[in-house]
């Protein structure tokens, strides 16, 4: 009799597992069969290209996503105020090699975020090439003063994960210009941090210490970096004329855009799913991160269409200002704490809308293990990895207040840094099915986490 009971319990458990897999499968099938998020991304890219924080395009993107969610039969849609930086690129940059041997050669460059300009007359100076900061330090002030420093570090393609390739390069973009400034350089040109060899420059923010000198700083396309390298090798006396006119205006009021489905049992516990709404001003921001926003909204659509009533409140958040100062993410976490909210789980999509491979988890070992136990639900959908790692820039500030599990959607990384932070990040580089699998993956993990209560009590 006890044996029979045991068998019945096991069968019930099996049926339960089976029925959850059926919900997961229905979620993915729904995602793959829909083009709503994809078509909304098309409109976002076409109408709000270059939506850097503080720009009219960013304001339009706020309104567009608010309208999308308002039309979706959600329980509430609202804006969360946040003051954001207001840095402007100014006029298109000019960079010209002037060589007595090779003549004049234009380079495709783009100012780095937060860098100052050369003024309308530009600067002209000889060039010194280094591949890392140590080489710069060895040159010292004597070798650098009144020169333009050319940081030329090539990608190491031997890494499988292109985030590792990028990590090896981005340090120079962050710290190179400030270091060059400290030695008296007049400007800095940084080879774009990209896996591609094309003629697009890739921008991104650069960092200056408070009180440190800020000099005109640009990224040069990888093709341009090769031209400059070759010409320098043949004519070390060449100079570069550089003209950039970025400027900064006072911070402006902007918004995180939020839509919610309220929980049926534990409405006070929040599950956040998000991406960031701002992009760089030179880019349609399709993969980075228009897609992450549209996928997050799509999670709510899938819950509604599949008739899944979550126990907890699911909140889709379009964060503002990820690219420059992460004000939106910080404000979101601060307000959560100040308002006494309970947060249960958060996930972000900001690694491009490529085929999902798994989840990266920032959590205690117990919560990581609980999330890893969900892997079998995802392997039929091509996802094989749930591992400890970073989550997302915008949700990470929740860790300041909550001992909760944060996750990032991990996607195939091979193409991401071909387009990241460049004019090459266009809608036509997004594949509908790859993007929609991401919507499905996030909806499925939220469903499982919520339904199975695997992350312990809320906080």
Which residue ranges make up the site for its own copies (CB under 8 A)? 28-29, 32-33, 157-160, 162, 195, 355, 357, 380-382, 384-385, 412, 414-415, 418, 431, 433-434, 437
Min separation Cβ 32 and its own copies, Å: 5
Q: How far is the CB of 309 from its own copies (least distance, A)?
A: 23
Q: Which is nearer to its own copies, 199 or 235 (CB)?
A: 199
Q: Which tokens in the block code for residue 424?
A: 């090459």
Distance in angstroms between the alpha carbons of the first and the last residue of the chain: 42
Cβ proximity to its own copies: between 309 and 433 the closer is 433
By beta-carbon proximity to its own copies, the closer residue of 145 and 433 is 433
Nearer Cβ to its own copies, position 20 or 414? 414
Q: For residues 83 and 375, which CB has a smaller minimum distance to its own copies in the complex?
A: 375
Give the shortest CB-260-to-its own copies separation in angstroms.
28
Rounded least distance, CB 29 to its own copies, Å: 4
Q: Closest separation between CB of residue 5 and its own copies, Å?
A: 37
Q: Given the complex with its own copies, which of 89 and 357 has the nearer CB atom? A: 357
Taking the least distance from each CB to its own copies, the nearer of 92 and 380 is 380
Looking at the Cβ atoms of 5 and 158, the one nearer to its own copies is 158
Smallest gap from Cβ 151 to its own copies, in A, equals 21
CB of 258 to its own copies, least distance (A): 30
Rounded to the nearest whole angstrom, what is the least distance from the CB of residue 353 to its own copies in the complex?
A: 11
């Amino acid at each position: 009799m006890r044996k029979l009971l045991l068998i019945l319990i096991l069968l019930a458990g099996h049926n339960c597992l089976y029925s959850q897999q059926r919900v997961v499968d229905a979620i993915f099938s729904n995602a793959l069969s829909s083009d709503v998020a994809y078509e909304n991304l098309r409109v976002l890219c076409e109408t709000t290209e270059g939506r850097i924080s503080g720009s009219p395009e960013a304001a339009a993107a706020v309104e567009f996503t608010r309208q999308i969610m308002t039309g979706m039969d959600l329980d509430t849609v609202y804006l969360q105020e946040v003051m954001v930086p207001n840095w402007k690129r100014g006029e298109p940059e000019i960079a010209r090699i002037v060589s007595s041997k090779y003549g004049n050669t234009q380079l495709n460059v783009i100012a780095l975020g937060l860098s100052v300009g050369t003024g309308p007359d530009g600067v002209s100076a000889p060039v010194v090439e280094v591949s890392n900061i140590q080489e710069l330090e060895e040159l010292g002030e004597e070798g650098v003063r009144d020169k333009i420093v050319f940081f030329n570090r090539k990608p190491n393609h031997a890494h499988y994960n292109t985030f590792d390739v990028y990590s090896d390069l981005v340090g120079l973009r962050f710290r190179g210009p400030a270091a060059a400034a400290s030695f008296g350089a007049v400007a800095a040109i940084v080879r774009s941090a990209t896996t591609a060899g094309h003629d697009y420059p890739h921008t991104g923010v650069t960092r200056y210490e408070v009180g440190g000198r800020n000099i005109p700083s640009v990224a040069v396309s990888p093709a341009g970096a090769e031209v400059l390298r070759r010409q320098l090798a043949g004519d070390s006396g060449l100079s570069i004329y550089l003209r950039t006119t970025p400027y900064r205006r006072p911070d402006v009021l902007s918004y995180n855009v939020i839509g919610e489905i309220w929980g049926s049992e534990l409405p006070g516990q929040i599950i956040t799913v998000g991406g960031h709404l701002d992009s760089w001003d030179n880019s349609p921001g399709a993969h980075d991160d228009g897609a992450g926003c549209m996928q997050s909204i799509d999670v709510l659509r899938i819950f509604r269409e599949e008739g899944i009533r979550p126990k907890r409140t699911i909140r889709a958040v379009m964060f503002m200002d990820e690219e420059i100062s992460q004000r939106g993410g910080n404000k979101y976490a601060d307000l959560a704490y100040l308002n006494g909210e309970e947060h249960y789980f958060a996930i972000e999509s900001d690694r491009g809308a490529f085929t999902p491979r798994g989840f990266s988890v920032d959590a205690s070992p117990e919560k990581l293990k609980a999330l890893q136990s969900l892997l079998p639900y995802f392997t039929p959908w091509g996802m094989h990895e749930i591992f400890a790692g970073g989550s997302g820039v915008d949700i990470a500030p929740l860790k300041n207040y909550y001992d909760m599990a944060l996750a990032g959607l991990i996607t195939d990384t091979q193409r991401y840094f071909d387009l990241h932070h460049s004019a090459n990040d266009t809608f036509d580089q997004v594949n509908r099915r790859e993007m929609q699998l991401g919507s499905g993956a996030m909806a499925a993990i939220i469903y499982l986490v919520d339904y199975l209560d695997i992350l312990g009590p809320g906080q």
